[in-house]
Structure 1
Amino acid sequence: MNSVAYVTVDVFTSERFSGNQLAVIPDARGLTDGQMQNIAAEFRYSEVTFVLPPQDPANTAHVRIFTPTMEIPFAGHPNVGTAFVLGRQGDIFGKPAGDALRFEEKAGIVEAALTRDAEGHVIGTSIFAPQPLSLGPQVESETIARCASIEVAAICVTTHAPVIASVGLPFAVAELADLETLGKACPNTAAFAEAGRRYSPEDDQFALFLYTRQPENPWHLRARMFAPLDNVIEDPATGSASGALGALLTTLLPDTDAVIEITIEQGVEMGRRSVIGVTAKKSGGDIQSIRIAGQCATVMSGAILL
């Protein structure tokens, strides 16, 4: 019986059984779209990546990303984890991996750089978002409150109103008043379905990224992400949403030039603490780059029977 090899890693953590789970198929040649979707549904992780030879030989690989229900154009932790796996592997379709990788994805080219320890072992990755920050419509606080099962008064609008933000994958982003409210948030699937029809009419998808700032350090955030319409009740780490949030907050600063370092903790309420580093560079009033970084830990390897 035919089979395909896989590796799983925990992303945005240095410890196994923390962070965000990811399955990587390092050589997906020969798999059909249907097989890829079935494999992603079988793992039931928030995403699974499938690595194919690049269409342009100047790039490292063509990477496809599937959630349990659909293919998506970009995501943060799948890129961080995939680069980590390929860097550890050392060979990508007969070529040395190197420390700088370029992935072809639906959202564009994703550049990744490997992080190594003092002994030269790959321990993590940083990636650059493939698209500049784009903002969609503002989302009514009442909609956010219904989706998260919280009070409208707990949603902060001083810095920004809830809004759809994207650097390759869109999320509704909203700030909450405190950690207690963040901890109480619980997704209401019916409210998400209603929000999807209103704010994402093409595919009815609506994902919500909630965060709160820590008073002693406003650039150290805690966050949670819910996407029940995509069979992801809660995500332990969402790099693409973190990148969009970092770009949004940096855009709102009065400074025309700035480099902002943001640390985002996510997954704490799930028992899978993740630490996401975001660096947003602003020049001449515009965001020039959004870097998303984190460590990884290898967990399992094996074969999937086809």
Structure 2
Amino acid sequence: MASIEFVTVDVFTRQRFGGNPLAVVPDAGGLSTEEMQAIAAEFGYSESTFVLPPEDPANTARVRIFTPTDEIPFAGHPNVGTAFVLGRRGEAFGRPVGEAMVFEEIAGRVEVALAREEGAVVGAEIVAPRPLAIHYEIDPALVAACASLTADDLAPGWQPVMASVGLPFVFAEVRDLAALGRAAPLRQAFAEADRRHPRDDDHFAVFLFHRLDDHIRARMFAPLSNTEEDPATGSASAALAAHLAALDPASDFPFDRLIVQGVEMGRRSEIRVRTSKTAGTVAPVRVSGACVPVLAGTIAL
């Protein structure tokens, strides 16, 4: 029986069985889109990646990203984890990979830099492929209902928005950690929100956050993509960083924050987001984190 290699890694963590798990197929040549989708559904992780030869030989690889239900244009932890896997292998499709890589994705070119400690690859930093786009303002009551909260649980003065740097999310700041801890996805409300705000690139997903002195705590719910809760969401963290930087009245400054996610799931994740703002313009966001290998094996086809 034909088979194909896979590996899994935990992303945005240094602790095995923490962070966000990712399945990577390092050489997906010959797989159909339907097979990729079926494999992603079988793993059941928030995303799985399938690595293919690049269309432009100047780039490292073409990377396709699948949730259990759909292919998506971009995501953070799949890029960090895939770079970690290829960096540890040292090659892709017979060519050595350097400290910097470029992945071709639906959302565009994703630039990647490996992170090393004592010569060993321990993680990666990626650059979001698109500038910040604010798609809609969202009714606070609708967003709160999706998270089984009320509008009073949201932070005063915060307008929920759908925003993206490659993949759209709805962002809502909650009043305190108690509200963040009470949140739980309500599928019926998500279905209504998805009908009211349909998109071709993904289903309605909500990223809740609360700002603390030294970091931001967050949770992400996407039940319509079969991800009741995500332990770490790099693409959402990147968009939030860009949005917070854009809202800051200061015209010029560096932006460097740690976003902690997955705590309520027992899979603490640490996502570093960095950008800068010059003359009111927010630079492309950089997302970084550590990874640890977990599983390796073959998939029977």
Aligned positions of 1:132-147 closer than 5 A: 132-147=131-146
Unaligned 5+ runs, structure 1: none
Question: What's the counterpart of residue 59 of structure 1?
Answer: 59
- The answer on 1:269 being equivalent to 2:269 is no
Question: What's the counterpart of residue 175 of structure 1?
Answer: 173
Pair 1:54–1:13, CA change in 2 (3 A): same
Query: Which of residues 190, 195, 203 in structure 2 aligns to 1:205?
Result: 203
Unaligned 5+ runs, structure 2: none
Contact 2:73 2:201 in 1 (8 A): no
Q: Please, which moves more after superposition, 205-214 or 149-158?
A: 149-158
Q: Please, which moves more after superposition, 229-238 or 200-209?
A: 200-209
Question: What's the counterpart of residue 244 of structure 1?
Answer: 239
Question: What's the counterpart of residue 18 of structure 1?
Answer: 18
TM-score normalized by the length of structure 2? 0.98
Q: Please, which moves more after superposition, 199-208 or 166-175?
A: 199-208
Cα deviation per residue 1:216-237 (whole Å; 9 max; x = unaligned)?
33xx100000000000000000
**What code does the residue aligned with 2:187 have?**
T
CA shift at 1:64, angstroms?
0.2
CA shift at 1:257, angstroms?
1.4
TM-score normalized by the length of structure 1? 0.97
- Distance of 1:9 and 1:251 partners within structure 2: 33
**Aligned-residue CA RMSD in angstroms?**
1.0
Contact 1:3 1:304 in 2 (8 A): yes
CA shift at 1:204, angstroms?
7.5
Partner SS state of residue 146, structure 1 = helix
Query: Which of residues 228, 245, 253 in structure 1 aligns to 2:248?
Result: 253
- Distance of 1:203 and 1:262 partners within structure 2: 27
Moved over 3 A (4+): 201-204
Cα deviation per residue 1:105-153 (whole Å; 9 max; x = unaligned)?
0000000000000x20000100000000000111111001110011211
- The answer on 1:4 being equivalent to 2:23 is no
- Distance of 1:195 and 1:71 partners within structure 2: 20
Contact 2:75 2:166 in 1 (8 A): yes
Question: What's the counterpart of residue 101 of structure 2?
Answer: 101
**What code does the residue aligned with 1:137 have?**
Y
- Distance of 1:106 and 1:4 partners within structure 2: 24
Aligned positions of 1:124-163 closer than 5 A: 124-158=123-157, 160-163=158-161
- Distance of 1:31 and 1:124 partners within structure 2: 27
**What code does the residue aligned with 1:23 have?**
A
Cα deviation per residue 1:240-296 (whole Å; 9 max; x = unaligned)?
000000000000111221111010000000000000000021112111220000000
Query: Which of residues 225, 236, 246 in structure 1 aligns to 2:220?
Result: 225
Task: Count matched residues.
Answer: 301
**What code does the residue aligned with 1:83 have?**
A
Contact 2:168 2:202 in 1 (8 A): no
**What code does the residue aligned with 1:143 have?**
L
- Distance of 2:56 and 2:185 partners within structure 1: 41
Partner SS state of residue 289, structure 1 = coil
CA shift at 1:203, angstroms?
7.0
Cα deviation per residue 1:164-190 (whole Å; 9 max; x = unaligned)?
010000000000011111011011000
CA shift at 1:202, angstroms?
4.5
Question: What's the counterpart of residue 290 of structure 1?
Answer: 285
Contact 2:72 2:201 in 1 (8 A): no
Partner SS state of residue 284, structure 2 = strand
